[in-house]
Structure 1
Amino acid sequence: MEPKQQRLFTAAHDLFISQGFKHTSIADIAQLANVAVGTFYNFYDSKADIFVQVYNHENEQIKTEIMNRLDLNAQPADLVHTVVEQIFQLSDGNQILQEWFNNAKLNALIAQTNQNAVEESLVYATLMRLIDRWLERGLIKDGLTKDRIISLFNALTVVDFHQSEIQTDDYYQLLNDLIDGILSVILK
C-alpha cells in the first residue's frame, strides 16, 4: 500500500472503530489522514469501498486472535462452540464488526464483495484441518464424506450472510442451535 493509501486506511479504521460507519464521512477520513478529499478517490471508490476493506482486515485480525486462543485438540462440539462464542465476544464492542449485524446494506455489500472470503479465511482453513483430524480420530459418523461435512458448515455461512433477514431476537442462540444440529449429524 502506498503511504497515502495506508494513512487513509488507518484513518478510516480509527474513525469507523470510534464512531461507526454512519457517523464517519469521507471528509473526516481525508482530514485525519492529512490528505485532500480528492486523494481519497485515487484509492477508494466510496466510503463503503474503504469500509469493506477495513472490515475485512478487522475481521481477519479477530479470526487470527481467536484461532491463536484455541485448543485444536479439544472435543469437536466444545471447539466449535468456543469459536462462535469468541466471535460474538470479540465483535461485541467493535463498531466495525457490529456493522455486519446492525447494517443490512453493509452486510449485503460485504457478502457480495467477499464471495470467496469464506474459503480464503483462516477459520475456514482451520475447519478443513479440524475435519481431517476428526476423520483420522474416528469421531465422524461412518459414511459421511468431507465434502458433506463442509457443505453442512457452509450452510452456517449462508445463514450468517443473511442473518439480517432472520426474525429473531437471539441470533447467537439460533447459531448455536444450528451448530448442535450439524454436530449431531456428523459426530459419532
Structure 2
Amino acid sequence: MDIKSDIFKYGKTIFSTKGFKKTNIKEIAQSAGIGVGTFYNYYTSKEQLFLEIYIQENENFKKRLIESIDLDQEPVKVMNQLIMKNIEAIETNPILKEWYSQDFYKELEQYYRNEGSKNIDSFRDFYMDLFKNWKAQGKIREDIDDDLLPVFFDSLVYIDTHKDEIGVQHFPKIIQYLAEFIMQGLTNHHK
C-alpha cells in the first residue's frame, strides 16, 4: 500500500467535495485509514497537500486544454477559447476554483510567483510556438520582437497573481478583456 498516494487520492476527493477551507487533516487521515500523525510523515500541512493536488490538476487541465483547441482558427479566436476554457475550468472544477477563492489563493499565488515559472513552462512553450507559427504565417504584426510575443501573456499571468492589489472582484473579467485587447493589437496589421 502506498500511503502517500492514498493521502493524495483521498485528499483530492475531499477537497473536491468540501473545498479547501472545510476540509481537515483528520478527515483525510481517516479516509486513508491512517492516523493524523502518519499524515504528517508525508505532508507538513493541509496546505502542502492541497498545493500538490492543485499543481497536478492544473497541469492535467492544461494538457487537455491544448488538445481540445483547433489551432488553425484565427489567432484571436484561439486565444479567446484558451482564456474562456481556462475560466470555465476554474468555475467548474472545485480544486481549480481555489485560484479565485479567498481561502487559499494567496498561498497559490505565492507559490506560482516563486516556483511558477518552472510549472508553466510546458504551457509557455506551447504558446511561444503558437506565436512563432502565427508570425511566420503573417497572422501577427511583424514589427514586434519574437522575444516580446510570449511576454504579453506572461504579463497576464503576473497580473493574475496580483489579484489583491488590483481588486479580486475584477477577476476573471479583467484577464478576458486584456487578452482580447492584446490579441487585437497583435493581429492588427497597420504598418
- Offset, 1:109: 1.6
CA contact (8 A) 2:43 2:49 kept: yes
* Aligned twin of 1:132: 132
* Structure 2 residue identity aligned to 1:99: E
Superposition CA RMSD, Å: 1.8
Quote how far apart the aligned CAs of 1:168 are. 6.2
Is the contact made by 2:90 and 2:99 (CA closer than 8 Å) also made in structure 1?
A: no
> Are 2:84 and 1:93 aligned?
no
Quote how far apart the aligned CAs of 1:166 are: 2.7
Q: Which runs of 5+ in 1 are unaligned?
A: none
Tell me by how many angstroms 1:129 deviates.
Answer: 1.3
Provide closer, same or farther for how the CA distance between residues 180 and 119 of structure 1 changes in structure 2, counting only shifts above 3 A.
Answer: farther
Contact 1:91 1:97 in 2 (8 A): yes
CA contact (8 A) 2:79 2:183 kept: no
CA contact (8 A) 2:128 2:149 kept: no
Q: Please show how residues 1-188 of structure 1 align to structure 2 within 5 Å.
A: 3-103=2-102, 106-114=104-112, 115-121=114-120, 122-167=122-167, 169-187=169-187, 188=189
Structure 1 outlier segments of 4+, above 6 Å: none
TM-score, length-scaled by structure 2: 0.89
Identity of aligned residues (%): 26
Measure the CA separation in 2 of the matches of 1:137 and 1:119: 29
Query: Cα distance, 1:162 vs. partner?
Result: 1.5
**Pair 1:173–1:120, CA change in 2 (3 A):** same
CA distance in structure 1 between the partners assigned to 2:168 and 2:43 by the alignment: 35
Count of aligned pairs between the two proteins: 186
Question: Do 1:119 and 1:125's aligned partners in 2 also have CA atoms closer than 8 Å?
Answer: no
Unaligned runs of 5+ in 2: none
TM-score by length of 1: 0.90
- Cα offsets for 1:17-71 (capped at 9, x unmatched): 0001111111111111111111111111111111111111111122122111101
Q: What is the rounded CA distance, in whole Å, between the counterparts of 1:162 and 1:92 in structure 2?
A: 19
